[in-house]
Structure 1
Amino acid sequence: MTAIRTILAENSTSISELKKNPMAVIEGGQGFPVLVLNRNQPAFYCVPAAAYEEMMNKLEDIELAQLVMQRTNSKEVEIDLNEL
């Protein structure tokens, strides 16, 4: 039985097409991820560099926000800037 998966891209291509012309696949996605299929099964997402960088920045923002929330009620510590 084949597992049902959520497709997280509006565009898809076969791995054969990706091999033929990788840049055409990326350009065809118009800046968005492209799902690459291997034998009609999702294999991986081809993500343009700008989109990947944006995702990494958002993940970092989420991690920082979680850290802020964890420390919201923490005890304050006084620091003398001259001692740093």
Structure 2
Amino acid sequence: MDTIYADLSISMSEFKKNPSQVLRAAGEKPVAILSHNRPAFYMVSPKVFEAFVDALADRDLTELVRRRLAQTDQAVEVDIDDI
């Protein structure tokens, strides 16, 4: 059995009838589109997708900062006015 990462789900055949209505009804919640009772894909609004992409970018930046903080022995002191 697959885990479904959405509170809302709909069958592929029902989704095909009116995808726009499914998006409107979901609002800002993700929808799992099921094929043979298994998730085939997830549908999210542009707002939710942008938030997801931003969160991934923030995670990448956090990892970069942590790596650089671990390398303080290679740090170079600079004057902010010189930049």
Same-fold status (TM-score > 0.5): yes
> Per-residue displacement from partner, 1:16-64 (whole Å, max 9, x unpaired)?
1211111111112121110000121211101111100000000000010
**Could you tell me how far 1:73 is from its partner in structure 2?**
2.7
Map of 2:75 onto structure 1? 76
Secondary structure class of the residue paired with 1:67: helix
Q: Which amino acid aligns with 2:22?
A: V
Map of 2:58 onto structure 1? 61
Identity among equivalent positions (%) equals 39
Q: Runs of 4+ in structure 1 displaced over 6 angstroms?
A: none
Matched, 1:32 2:29: yes
Map of 1:51 onto structure 2? 48
Q: CA RMSD in A?
A: 1.6
Query: CA–CA distance in 1 between the matches of 2:57 and 2:3?
Result: 24
- Gaps spanning 5+ residues in structure 2: where? none
Instruction: Give the TM-score normalised by the residue count of structure 1.
Output: 0.83
Secondary structure class of the residue paired with 1:27: helix
**Could you tell me how far 1:65 is from its partner in structure 2?**
0.3
- Gaps spanning 5+ residues in structure 1: where? none
Instruction: Give the TM-score normalised by the residue count of structure 2.
Output: 0.84
